[in-house]
Amino acid sequence: MVTYVGVSEIARLVRRVGIEPLLTRLAAYIREDFLRWERFEKSARLASHSPHGVIELMPTCDGTLYAFKFVNGHPGNTAHGKLTVTALGVLADVATGYPLLLSELTIATALRTAATSALAASVMARKDAKSMAIIGNGAQSEFQVLAFRALLGINEVRAFDTDAAATEKLIGNLAGVPGLVITPAASAEEAVRGADIVTTATADKALAEVLDPGLVEPGMHINALGGDCPGKTELHPDVLRAARVVVEFEPQTRIEGDIQQVGSAFPVIELWRVLSGEVAGRESRDQVTVFDSVGFAIEDFSTLRLIRDLCADSPESGTIDLLPPPDTDPKDLYRLVAG
C-alpha cells in the first residue's frame, strides 16, 4: 500500500499544524534541500503547451528519494469555475523504485510557492522591511501574505487586483489574523508606493508589464511569481536590467521567467548560492532586488518530504493500493488477475 494524501487530508493537516508554523517549517525543508543542491538531478520541467495553457512534469532525485509533480496552468479556467493551477505528486524510494507517497499538490503548491518566496526575501529584502504590496489577489495571495508575515514579520500590506472582488476576498479571508492590516489599493501604482517588498502574482498568459521602472523605488525587493512560462511576463525589461536578479534554476528560468525578455547573456544568481552564503542577496540598502520565481522541482521534493514526515502515524493520511500486496509472488503477477 502507498500512503495517500488528498485535498481533505491536506486541509486537516494544515489546520492541525497551523498555516504559519507549517509555512515556516516548509521553508526550512526547502532551504535544507537547496543547500544540498549538488546532490540533486536537475532539469527544466517537461512542458506541453496549448492555446489554453500548459501541462508540465517536474522531476528530481537526490539519490535516495525520487519525486515528480504533474501540474497545469490554465489562466482561462476561472471563467469556467475551475482552478488555474492543479497538481499532484509522487515520492518514491530510489533503492526499490516503489512509490511511497501519492499526494495532492494543488494546495501544497500554493504553500510551497509562498514559503519559497518568503525564504528568498529573507536573504534579499532589507532587514528592516515592514510593508508589502501584492498585485494579483487570486489563489496565491493569502498564502503569500501569511508566509511573509511568518518569516519576515510583515504586517502592513496593500493589495491591488483588476478584479476588486479578489481583493475583497483576500481581505475577508485574513480579517481575523492578529495585527495584520491589509489595505485595498485603487491601482498598482498606489499599492507599491513606499512598499519595501512588492509581490506580483498575476495569472494572465501575456507579455504584461505589471511593474515598470517608474514604480520601482530604491531598496525595493520584488517577488515576481506570475511570469512562469514562455510568453508570460510581469516586469518591464528595464526593471530587470536595473536590479540584482536571483532565480531558482537558471536553465529553466531563461525559458519561462521574466528574464526571457533580456537575453541569455543577462547575469543572474541562483538562489542556492545566496542561501549558502556564497554570494550576497543584496549588496547595498538602495539596491533593487528581484526574485524571478517560476517554481522548481526541488521545492516540490521538499514539500512531499514534509508531507510524508507530518503524516507518519497521523490521522491525516490514508493508503491506496497502487502496488500489489506484499505477499505477491514477484514471478507470478498473473495470479492476481486469474482469480
163 is an active site residue: no
Residue of 47, 124, 99 whose CA lies nearest to 289: 124
37 near 277, Cβ under 8 Å? no
Catalytic residue among 33, 161, 196, 228: 228
The cell for 113 is: 510557492
CA distance readout (Å), 102 to 9, 47, 91 = 12, 21, 7
Q: How far apart are CA 174 and CA 186, in angstroms?
A: 19
Half-sphere exposure in the Cβ direction for 252 (13 Å, CA): 24
Active site residues: 228
